[in-house]
Structure 1
Amino acid sequence: MTAPTPTPASETTAPRPQIPLLLAAVLLIYLGQMTLNPIIAPLSREVGLAEWQIGVTISTAAVMVVLTSQFWGRRSQSLGRKPVLVAAFVLATVAMILFALLAWLGMSGAITGVSLFLLFVALRGIGFGTAIAAVPPNAQAYIADVTTDEKARVKGMAGVGAVQGIAMIGGSVIGGLLSAFGLITPLIAVPVLLLAGLALIVFRLRREPRHELIQTPARVSPFDSRVWPFLLAGFGMFTALGFIQVITGFIVQDRLGLDSATTGLVTGAALLAAGVGMILAQAVIVPRSGWTPPTLLRVGGVIAFAGFLVLVFDAGPVLLFVAILLIGLGLGIAMPGYTAGPTLLVSREEQGGLAGLIGATTGLTFVIAPTAGTALYGLWAPLPIIVGTAIMAVVAVFVLAHPRFRRSPGAPEGVSVET
């Protein structure tokens, strides 16, 4: 009688989770977005668009995030992550190639006025907004699928925020430095970054076995008692951020009296400070602290409020950079609490819908805030910063006072958090 043949280890163990690869996808698409941030203000003035028109463009992208995030999140569970991410990166790449061409035509005077504005909205707003809406929900739903305890879940969600912070730094450096060679140069770099992300997904990301897919992922209501306090806190944080994010370039240019080329470089440095704060929070503080999601929201909310308060005052470049650093640090600490907290309270079938809902909630904050921020800035420069500070103060009080944030999230009776 012969001994049974040993089963190869590859057949008895599940493949290693591909969290780093999903994080790389988030990194590259946000790197493409953040590379545009240092130049969007000077670019708008070079092509003759008003501040409010750039605000409308960014708000349109946010509308598309709101409208499509739940769709993308549920499709990530029913179709699989790979086909959804491939579609998103193809759309993003095409949109940004056409946007670079449009910007060149705008700077040369070939397209101006209303036509230029509408094409900005169509490409940067509708096209790229729809594409970027797919990536964070995919990554967050995947992390929720492969992590089963609070510590691992928070660490994984912090990873999503950390790569966004890295993208903020990388995009600030790329956009700021390349703008020294002309505003069109960073616009050419963006599609290259997106093509790299597309290649990574096509050649490296595994498709899930059919039996792991969920044919009818559940919708999650924003009024669900398990999740609405987290959504409200996140909505407030990102609304406050939305009031100042788009006008950062204008703040830098007007407070420091810079020309267009120098504005791109210094705005990149300012956004770099925010990215440093975010990475410090999510790569160092969050993983080592062991704090629960409610604690992360409370600590981060207070720090971010302090940053907003400092930003109100026009007291020179040092305090400007300190304020932006504190905002990045505070939001970097709070974000994993916002994204991980509700995932511990819902079932596996709800994770894709929840991830989409989180993305939609974040996107909703940028529907009104950028347009309102740029419009208020035109009335009185400190006004949007004061509004953002007031909103952040309300958030800090809410997460300190609401009963949901006085205890660690735990599954209510009858609801499984195993993934």
Structure 2
Amino acid sequence: MTYLILFFALLATAVGQSVFLTVLPSLGREAGLTEWQVAVMMSSSAFVFAIGANCWSRVTVRYGYKRLLMVGLSGYTLGTFVFASLWWAGLTGFLGGTALFVILLLARSLQSSVMSATPPSAVGYVVAMSEQRHRASAISKVTSANNLGQVLGPPLAGVLVTFGLLTPLYSILALTIVALLLVWQKLPAFLPSAKPQTDASGPDVGPVSASVKLFIIGCACLFLCMAMMQQSLAFFLMDENGVNTVQAAQLTGSAMMVSAVFSLMIQFGVVQRHLMRPETLICVAAPLLALAYLIIAIHQQTVMLYVAMGILGLGMGAAYPSLAALATMRCLPERQSRVTGMITATPAMGYIIGPPLSAMAYHFDHRYPFMLAGVIMLVIATLLIFKIKSEG
């Protein structure tokens, strides 16, 4: 029951995030915002999220996982309502131009500062209650909610945008409210063990090992490249294929759904069944991700886009839980909460750099963001494989 509640809490936020990413480019184009303003909005809120996730993970000993999870879900619910309402003001002409951009940026950043409590609370709960040899499977059980959210969110957005571009944003409030009630009523309170300090430096300070750092950087690169793709894909479809804002949201949603379906397949079919070791999964998944982005960069037909997104889903579904598991298994126990906070902040880390980098590359050529993502993944795949092989 505990895993199911944590799964649903992450699912609600994942659906919301995938809906947000699906409709944001279309919303920005409809409200007269530029690609750069959309990118800055995504990047700035991700920066706040990354800092927040790391900070929240450090106070779990004091407040407990359940309480912080409720804080995160409450912040997400209220923040989504305010954010969607501000977009309504922009689309109806009450706000516009720089004023709209600034107030949306502030609202999204404030929302991110509170909702960033959700991932480290949920993942930290799982890390604390799971055995080390089952860590990858345990993490996968809850983080697969992110993939299911990507399955459900894009088609939900694609259907609901026919009733208005803001309808998908308002619809996710129901999910987050239900998740909050479930956590409040059904999730057992679980406090992490607070070990006494054994030296002057404290229990959770000092450097982590080089291999753990590389695994964390690898996770960040996964989401950096994903952010570059998501930032540019809808704009690419509008500018290259000539579709309108609603059609772009629908096509982007379909492509993301394909990716998420394949990601779920490998998580449930391979990762959670312990059919391959995390090290092996990383060595296979990282090159697949590089290949997927390069196919997106050169594709000419929609069917090839879907093939690339399927490969992308396989790579993401295998790589993220494996990297997260190795990072938490290879760190000292007293640094586990710190590493967990870093891991859960890696999606935000990627979205800090990815959107503006993608917008800059898109300015030169509409296919450059996908090519750059492929090159980045090729480099990080080489580093990860070399590190894993050298350590046996």
Q: TM-score range by the shorter chain?
A: over 0.9
The number of equivalent residue pairs is: 388
Please point out which of 146, 153, 157 is paired with 1:171. 153
* Post-superposition CA distance 1:252-309 (Å, at most 9, x none): 3333321112222111111101111211121112123532222121111011111111
- Corresponding residue for 1:149? 132
Q: Deviations over 1:321-377 (max 9, x none)?
A: 111121121111111111100211234443221111112333222212111102321
Alpha carbons 2:11, 2:146 under 8 Å: kept: yes
- The answer for the alignment partner of 1:279 in structure 2 is 264
Cα offset, 1:222, TM superposition = 6.2
Residue pairs, 1:8-407, within 5 angstroms: 18-124=2-108, 126-150=109-133, 152-208=134-190, 212=193, 218-219=203-204, 223-403=208-388, 406-407=391-392
Alignment partner of 2:270: what SS? Answer: helix
Q: Which amino acid in structure 1 is aligned with residue 277 of structure 2?
A: T
Structure 1 gaps of 5+ residues are 1-16, 408-419
Q: Secondary structure of the equivalent of 1:227?
A: helix
* CA distance in structure 2 between the aligned counterparts of 1:218 and 1:290, rounded to whole angstroms: 35
Q: Which residue of 2 aligns with 1:11?
A: none
Greater CA drift, 246-255 or 49-58:
246-255
State how far apart, in whole Å, the 2-side matches of 1:275 and 1:377 are: 25
CA contact (8 A) 2:238 2:248 kept: yes
Q: CA deviation at 1:406?
A: 4.8
Q: Which amino acid aligns with 1:252?
A: L
Q: Quick check: which has more Rg, 1 or 2? A: 1
Which residue does the alignment assign to 1:416?
Answer: none
Deviation digits for residues 51-84 of structure 1 (CA, Å, limit 9, x no counterpart): 1111111111211122111211122233111111
Aligned partner of residue 358 in structure 1, secondary structure: helix
| Between 104-113 and 278-287, the greater mean CA deviation after superposition | 278-287
Query: Structure 1 residues 90 and 405 mapped into 2: Cα distance closer, same or farther (>3 Å)?
Result: farther
CA-CA distance at 1:20 after TM superposition? 2.1
* CA distance 1:236–1:287, shift in 2 (3 Å): same
Per the normalisation by structure 1, the TM-score is 0.87
Identity of aligned residues (%): 26
Deviations 1:109-144 (A, max 9, x none): 1100111101111122x1232234222212222221
Q: CA 1:215/1:100 → structure 2, altered by over 3 Å: closer, same or farther?
A: farther
C-alpha RMSD over aligned residues: 2.1
2:210 is paired with a residue of what secondary structure? coil
2:276 alignment partner AA: W
> Which sits farther off after the overlay, 200-209 or 222-231?
222-231
Q: How far does residue 382 in structure 1 lie from its aligned partner after superposition?
A: 0.9
CA offsets per residue over residues 27-68 of structure 1, 9 Å max, x none? Answer: 111111111222111110111110111111111121112211
Structure 1 residues 343 and 79, CA, compared in 2 at 3 Å: closer, same or farther? same
Contact 1:35 1:172 in 2 (8 A): yes
Q: How far apart, in 2, do the equivalents of 1:329 and 1:270 lie?
A: 14
Q: Equivalents in 1 of 2:351, 2:217: separation in Å?
A: 14
Q: Distance in 2 between matches of 1:222 and 1:58?
A: 30
Partners of 1:93 and 1:49 lie apart in 2 by: 25
The change in CA–CA distance for 1:265 and 1:226 in structure 2 (over 3 A counts) is closer
Q: Distance in 1 between matches of 2:71 and 2:318?
A: 31
2: CA distance between counterparts of 1:184 and 1:247?
20
